[in-house]
Amino acid sequence: MSILEMEHLSHAFGDVILYQDASLRLNAGEHMGLIGDNGAGKSTLLKIIMGTFLPDAGSLWIAPRYRLGYLDQQARLNPLETIHEYLKSAHERLYQVERQMEEKYQQAAENQDQGALLQQAARLQETLEREGFYEIEYQMERIARGLGVYAMGYDTPMAQLSGGQRAKVILTKLLLESPDVLLMDEPTNFLDAEQIQWLIQFLQNYPGAFIVVSHNQEFLEPISQCISDLAFGKITTYRGSFLAAMRQKEFNRQQKLRLYESQQKQIQKLETYIARNKVRASTAAMAKSREKALAKMERIAPPASTGAPQFRFPAIRMAPQVVLEVKNLQIGYETPLLPPLTFKMKSEESVAICGFNGVGKTTLLNTLMGRLPKLDGFFYLCRAGSIAYFEQETKWERQVTPLSYLRRLFPDRREGELRGALARAAVKREHMRQEMVTLSGGEQAKVKLASMSLAPHSFLILDEPTNHLDEKAKEALIEALRSYHGALIVVSHEKAFCQAVAQRIIMLGS
């Protein structure tokens, strides 16, 4: 039974057409993966379903009484609220019923005419039992443990959480709400390997329907019953897992390519015949007939393809030396997050820093960059060359576009150079003057990587650079980092990415 239908959807941001006569259908209990290149409009599609955006044309129908739940990692939270208080708000209505029940019992204890009050309290208790209220704390702890939230401490105020911790708490609340339809945009971005495996098992057994946007193929494969591919303004849905969908997509592409090539041969043959025979009186009529047939022919468009980004990070080569030394370093805020850290790095060495989310990887980078004070110990970071820092989270001001961002960093560069850097990073021409806050996370990441290609650096420090990148962009980034001849520190939760770019892996919290 269909519970969500989008038909003939069209939508654009300025000159950028995201969808053109696109359609999508989700059935009850169906588990769908939504894929597409960076900037294709996946996140916008979820916001249209939620009613945050209105499409330019088309219709959206959602079955009555079906509750939607959306993973909004940018949701505004009360900084003074504790994790436990925030999670309890997932079932605020039932907690209100509990308070009403307790009030009735209290009033009954203080009133001689207890009968009516006790009956009202009993009905409220029946409601709580029927709706599983007394299982809420158990379910809360189960999900919180699975996603690593329980270890943060239920009494921790939201203001003290890192961006990754905050995202996990928001995801925990969403899963606790158990909506009929889950809409999740890159839910694994801030999860470590064990937490991703827990989420896979949870979603495999989820009784409701969901649409999950993800670039993580290993995550999509076991949870998806169908894959919807958003490309060139159209949505194509394939039945089966991610790998089955990709096989079908490639088969369709090859089939279309064969039809296109066959028609091109036919067209070339007709054009050659027409050119040779239309000037001869004896064959002019036949040539004219074929010319008319050629004009009426419905042309098959060539299979569309998007250009892969090309990253290149020029290096300031340094003599062999220690460029980073850490000795008994303690990092954190009021108290240390980790035992004292000690390690060294040499020039042209590449190191991956791994560990579970919230262990302190970003805190370590911010300490090394001087953005956070150390708590104790010693570190030396060579600043003889130039350091480029890719931040995991960037707060963009309104009216900042990719071009204005690069122009601010490189005021002496010609606009053509800046455009060229963005184009090589596969940032679309129409996105170059679009506000950064309106671009997808993947497009924003490519802009930041483009900025790192415009000047040589002796040291690259990258904090979760692959979080929003599609597969083509990840492959291009891996190739560029392997070719880089400076010192490299990369933080990533993706094991395969770390192994591909790093000579050495440092595990925090192990």
Which neighbouring-strand residues pair with 4? 26, 62
Q: Cβ-count burial of 405 within 10 angstroms (0-12 exposed, 13-18 middle, 19+ buried)?
A: buried
Identify whether 471 is part of a domain.
yes
What is the per-residue pLDDT for 145? 94
88 and 208 in one domain?
no
In a domain, 217, yes or no: yes
Measure the CA–CA gap between 486 and 458, rounded to whole angstroms.
5
DSSP 3-state of 433: coil
Among residues 116, 146, 178, which one ends one of the domains?
178
Q: Which helix (H) or strand (E) holds 229?
A: strand 226-231
- C-beta of residue 431 within 8 angstroms of C-beta of residue 39: yes
Contact 493, 357 (CB under 8 A): yes
Q: Tell whether 303 is covered by a domain.
A: no
Listed ranges 277-286, 347-356, 403-412, 464-473; the one with the highest mean pLDDT: 403-412
Same domain, 151 and 192: no
Task: Say whether both 237 and 109 belong to one domain.
Answer: no
How far the first Cα of the chain sits from its last, in Å, is 48
Considering the domain architecture, whether residues 229 and 101 belong to the same structural domain is answered as no
Residue 305, pLDDT score: 60
Name residue 263's amino acid. Q
Structural domain ending residue among the three candidates 267, 283, 307? 267
171 and 187 both lie in a single domain: no
Instruction: Give yes or no: residues 485 and 384 share one domain.
Output: yes
Query: pLDDT-derived band of residue 336, with 50, 70 and 90 as boundaries?
Result: confident
Q: Domain residues for 373? A: 322-396+440-507
Question: Which is nearest to 375 in space by CA: 444, 408, 329, 422?
Answer: 329
pLDDT > 70? residue 303: no
Same domain, 189 and 165: no
Model pLDDT for residues 118-167, shown as the tens digit of each residue? 888 888 888 888 888 888 889 999 999 999 999 889 999 988 887 788 88
Residues 363 and 445 in one domain: yes
For the chain, give the mean pLDDT. 88
What's 46's domain CATH number? 3.40.50.300
> Tens digit of pLDDT for each residue in 63-106?
999 999 999 877 788 888 999 999 999 888 988 888 888 888 88
- Cβ atoms of 503 and 476 closer than 8 Å: no
Is the whole-model pTM more than 0.85? Answer: no
Least reliable range by pLDDT among 276-285, 299-308, 314-323: 299-308
Res 109: pLDDT: 78
Can you give the pLDDT at residue 280? 80
Q: What is the pLDDT of residue 112?
A: 66
Q: Is 310 inside a domain boundary?
A: no
Q: Is the residue at 499 inside a domain?
A: yes
* pLDDT at position 47: 92
102: phi then psi, degrees, rounded to nearest 5: -65, -35
| pLDDT given at position 30 | 95
Q: Does 241 share its domain with 210?
A: yes
Question: CA dist 66 to 28, 34, 58, 63, Å?
Answer: 10, 20, 21, 6
The answer to whether residue 307 is domain-embedded is no
pLDDT digit string (tens) for 236-276? 999 998 888 888 888 887 888 888 888 888 888 888 888 88
CA torsion sign for 329, 332, 333, 337 is negative
CB atoms within 10 A of CB 93: 11
Per the document, the length of the chain is 510
| pLDDT tens for each residue of 442-453 | 899 999 999 999
- Buried-state track 109-120, b at ≥16 Cβ within 10 A, e below 16: eeeeeeeebeeb
Same domain? For 199 and 167 the reply is no
Q: What is residue 270's predicted lDDT score, i.e. its pLDDT? A: 84
Does residue 119 form part of some domain? yes
Last residue of a domain, one of 153, 178, 203: 178
Our count of domains for the chain comes to: 3
Q: Is the pLDDT of residue 213 over 70?
A: yes
pLDDT at 425: 92
Q: Are residues 198 and 228 in the same domain?
A: yes
236, containing H or E segment:
strand 234-239
Residues 39, 123: one domain? no
pLDDT digits (tens, 9 = 90+) for 416-438: 999 999 999 988 888 898 889 88
Q: Report the run of H or E that residue 33 belongs to, with start and end.
A: strand 31-35
278 lies in some domain = no
